[in-house]
Amino acid sequence: MSTQLSPVPNVAPDGELSTELLKRMHELMVKSRVLEERLIQMYKQGDGYFWIGGPGEEAFNVPLGLLIQKGQGVQFDYCHFHYRNSGTLLAMGADPIDALRQMKNTASDPYSGGRNFCGHYSLRKWNVVPVSSPIEVQYSMAPGTALAQKRAGGTGITIVTGGDAGTAEGDFATCLVWCSRPANPLPLLMIVTNNKWGISTSADGQHGEKNVSDRGKAFGIRCKTIDGNDPEVSYREIAAAMEYVRTERKPFLLEAVLSRLYGHSSASGANRALDEADCLVGFEKKLEQRKLLDRKAADELRAHYTQELQEAHRRVHVEPQPDGKTIYDHIFSTKDLVRGEG
């Protein structure tokens, strides 16, 4: 069941990231942007009923995925994600075609067998717990996996992600309360991706907090608000936060301010927002200035993945849908899978 422990990069907040890492991040950001564009296209072509995802969040989600200790069981990181973490999954090594399968709700969709919306990942082999549509519930569940990890010892931690508007739900407070109990502080990295919107509702009128992350202070939880549109900042800050949580076995609340590039979801049209900063454009500009990337290479990279996903789409297009009779499958489990049975 176990997978190799990926080394925990120990980067000081001001430390330089290697050229190789920067390039790896850039490639993954391109890859996940292209994936989202393909998913949106599928929706607009009627190859799927609903799209939701994370275009604009790549600068944060990709580093997050690279830093996760991927594997199964308490010695690895548990991931309680929401519906915008496709970049994280790709960085963890997921094959983008599987995202297309969930988009097209084919029987071959490895995350839900065509039962759930796109972006609703679930992979036991990597501790990715089923993403569910109800906002914020993952924050109430996360303390449970973190409790198991605290008891087990080691460096495995629990990571939970969600948006800014969702922090108004009681579950966010539940997570703050449960992970900071003096009786048993938990190795839990609480992440809030703040895109300043909840569907059509602007954050301005709704949040008395200056920073969402300020809410951790009263509980003695370490917290920080960072520029989630900068992949280098994101990588360093996530690494530092994880380092703290892994070694101190205490919680950390990290807020990343970032962009929402295609609106909330297909329900709001999934059209490109022109007033939002594009982290990919910004990062490429930097890399070009530093001579780590030239336009041509960047265009080729994009073309390469566009092509790859086009072919993937063609394949998925003809894959069979689940049969109606299967709705009764897997209501009850005969095996205790999470306890190592089969």
Between CA 63 and CA 323 the distance in angstroms is 38
Which amino acid would we find at residue 154? Answer: G
> What is the Cα–Cα distance from 254 to 66, expressed in whole angstroms?
17
Q: Does 310 bind other proteins (CB under 8 A)?
A: no
Q: Is 189 helix (H, G, I), strand (E, B) or coil?
A: strand
Residue 182 CB, nearest approach to its own copies (Å): 6
Choose from other proteins, its own copies, Mg ion, none: what does 21 bind? Cβ within 5-8 Å by kind.
none
- Select from 254, 140, 252 the least CA-distant residue to 186: 252
Site residues (CB under 8 A) for its own copies, limited to 68-107: none
- In the complex with Mg ion, which residue's Cβ is closer, 28 or 135? 135
User: Is residue 197 a contact point for ligand TPP (CB under 6 A)?
Assistant: yes
Work out how close the CB of 31 gets to other proteins at its nearest, in angstroms, rounded to a whole number.
24
Q: How far is the CB of 53 from ligand TPP (least distance, A)?
A: 10
Look up residue 159 and give its two tokens: 């990571």
Phi (first) and psi of residue 191, to 5 degrees = -120, 135
- The residues in 235-274 that bind ligand TPP, with binding defined as CB under 6 A, are 264
CB 187, CB 251: distance < 8 Å: yes
Instruction: Report in angstroms how near the CB of residue 294 gets to its own copies at its nearest.
Output: 46
Binding pattern for the stretch 204-223 against its own copies, x by CB under 8 A and - elsewhere: xxxxxxx---xx-xxxxx--
Among 15, 130, 154, 282, binds other proteins (CB under 8 A): 130
Phi/psi region, residue 172 (left: phi>0; alpha: psi -120 to 50; beta: rest), is alpha
Kindly state the smallest distance separating residue 220's Cβ from its own copies, in Å.
Answer: 5
Q: CA 7, CA 13: separation in Å to the nearest integer? A: 18
Classified as helix, coil or strand, 334 is coil
Nearer to other proteins, 178 or 252 (CB): 178
CA separation for the pair 185, 242 (Å, rounded): 15
Contact 122, 90 (CB under 8 A): no
Q: Which residues bind ligand TPP (CB under 6 A)?
A: 84, 133-135, 162-166, 193, 195, 197-199, 264
Q: Which residues bind Mg ion (CB under 5 A)?
A: 163-165, 195, 197
Q: Which residues bind its own copies (CB under 8 A)?
A: 168-174, 176-177, 180-185, 204-210, 214-215, 217-221
